[in-house]
Amino acid sequence: AGELRRWDGPLATVRSPVWLKDGDGERQVILGSAPLLDADTALTALDAAVAAYDKGRGAWPNMRVAERIQHVESFLARMREQRTAVVKLLMWEIGKNLKDSEKEFDRTCDYIVDTINALKDLDRRSSRFELEQGTLGQIRRAPLGVALCMGPYNYPLNETFTTLIPALIMGNTVVFKPAKFGVLLIRPLLEAFRDSFPAGVINVIYGRGRETVSALMASGKVDVFAFIGTHKAASDLKKLHPRPHRLRAALGLDAKNPGIVLPQVDLDNAVEEAVTGALSFNGQRCTALKILFVHEDVVEPFLDKFQRKLAALKPGMPWEPGVALTPLPEPGKVDYLDGLVADATAKGARVLNEGGGQSRGSFFYPALLYPVSRDMRVYHEEQFGPLVPVVPYRDLQTVIDDVLDSDYGQQLSLFGNDPETIGALVDIFANQVGRINLNAQCQRGPDTYPFNGRKNSAEGTLSVHDALRVFSIRTLVATKFQESNKQ
């Protein structure tokens, strides 16, 4: 971003998930285009970051913390001016409704402010201490080098910035690739990047990850790999690095968060939380509830209430007031969800809600699938969309075994009001997932709390404070008293 380069190369068309009336039919809206970089051009961006870091000799990694903070503050002020443009693009590019798009923007600004405050706090605390008798210690937080930051399409601004900002503020230089969908919404921020940071400190690349990102990883010049996406993509990319032991990773990956509804339960609350937990932003959240285990004693009233709540969710265009269900940005997603529904219904599940599973263009009306069993794909696959599989159970142990056997370990929700059972389950699950939610849906926030996961769900912990640690290393300066010092 140090210099906003003119781009004469090939372009990728950026399509909106929104289809609009056109004569007698409908047409998908084309929003614009984005550069399609080849590997060599992406490597040029990486080299700019490498040069700005200059093996730790660069001005940015050596800058006083207070001064780096000023750069980030000046960026934030410029970013706030772009709220309307970015919110609009969130709606048009990824189909996020107005309320949630505004929330994503504001949450990102808050995240930057919190990060600045956390760093000031960390900086204040790095004073000298007595390491052992006769030796003074001081901890310095040092940057790691060049960070490659890539966020997901469902939070193309917020989650991208949850790695980008801490990476920068800790003195790393950055190559950053906007999400595949949500690429244009970075454009209103490019000048702010250019004007707020020295040349080479932040470099934006575009294009097909297989070509560009693979080349960056294979170059061995990336020191920190911050990626939010699938476990498979992350591990394939990590393998390309010639010195993986020198690569630090901060990864937010797959999840299949279960909601477990116990027989003694406040059903109204469980349904309320399950509906929003499974379906906000059409279920396109890594933290969404992606499978519900409901005890047989309460499953019928649960499904009844769920259907009523679901019917009240308003479908429509992202900018329409009160809309909850919107078009899906991923091409091929509707077909994928159709396939999951067809597989489940062929194996004995039914779509319970009227209109469930029907689609038009990139819009897919949520399907409540019941009874779902282990032999169905939707039991295991992360649908990342508006499908709600419900599994009835009698023996709680089968559900416990399922969580323990799962390859995923991000979060889970327990709904019930028998303290003994809840306590026992918390003890069992505490070493399986990154967060247990009691009588509440899964979610990432508040952003000052640790966000992590186990198994194939994450590597490293991202929260405001933790992220500062992820993107730096503690260096101990140990000073031994000398006789001459003591006088």
The two tokens of residue 98 are: 């107005």
The helix (H) or strand (E) run that includes residue 428 is: helix 419-429
Peptide bond into 446 cis (omega under 30): yes
Under rule CB under 6 A, residue 108 binds ligand G3H? no
In whole angstroms, the minimum distance from the beta carbon of 434 to ligand G3H comes to: 11
Distance CA 78, CA 197 (A): 12
Cβ distance to ligand G3H smaller for residue 93 or 159 = 159
Cβ distance to ligand G3H smaller for residue 255 or 261 = 255
Under rule CB under 6 A, residue 155 binds ligand G3H? yes
Question: Beta strand pairing status for 129-132 and 435-438?
Answer: unpaired
In whole angstroms, the minimum distance from the beta carbon of 445 to ligand G3H comes to: 5
The two tokens of residue 159 are: 């989650």
Under rule CB under 6 A, residue 286 binds ligand G3H? yes
Distance CA 325, CA 339 (A): 20
Given 287, 353, 457, 472, the residue binding ligand G3H (CB under 6 A): 287
Angle at 486 between CA 484 and CA 487, to 5 degrees: 75
Q: Which residue has the tokens 């394939």?
A: 236
Q: Which runs of consecutive H residues, i.e. helices, occur in 280-418?
A: 299-311, 333-346, 377-380, 396-405
Under rule CB under 6 A, residue 82 binds ligand G3H? no
DSSP 8-state assignment for residue 298: T
Under rule CB under 6 A, residue 226 binds ligand G3H? no
Cβ distance to ligand G3H smaller for residue 19 or 225 = 225
Interface characters, 401-440, with ligand G3H (x: CB under 6 A): ----------------------------------------
Q: Which stretch binds ligand G3H (CB under 6 A): 60-68, 154-162, 212-220, 342-350?
A: 154-162
In whole angstroms, the minimum distance from the beta carbon of 286 to ligand G3H comes to: 3
Distance CA 378, CA 399 (A): 16
Angle at 422 between CA 420 and CA 426, to 5 degrees: 120
Under rule CB under 6 A, residue 285 binds ligand G3H? yes
Cβ distance to ligand G3H smaller for residue 134 or 445 = 445
Cβ distance to ligand G3H smaller for residue 41 or 443 = 443
Site size for ligand G3H (CB under 6 A): 9
Under rule CB under 6 A, residue 256 binds ligand G3H? no
Cβ distance to ligand G3H smaller for residue 162 or 219 = 162
Cβ distance to ligand G3H smaller for residue 423 or 445 = 445
Main-chain dihedrals φ then ψ at residue 312, nearest 5 degrees: -85, -10
DSSP 8-state assignment for residue 56: G
Under rule CB under 6 A, residue 326 binds ligand G3H? no
Cβ distance to ligand G3H smaller for residue 163 or 203 = 163
How many secondary structure helices (H) and strands (E) does the chain include? 17, 22
Distance CA 50, CA 467 (A): 21
Closest residue to ligand G3H in the complex (CB): 286
Residues that bind ligand G3H (CB under 6 A): 154-155, 159, 285-287, 443-445
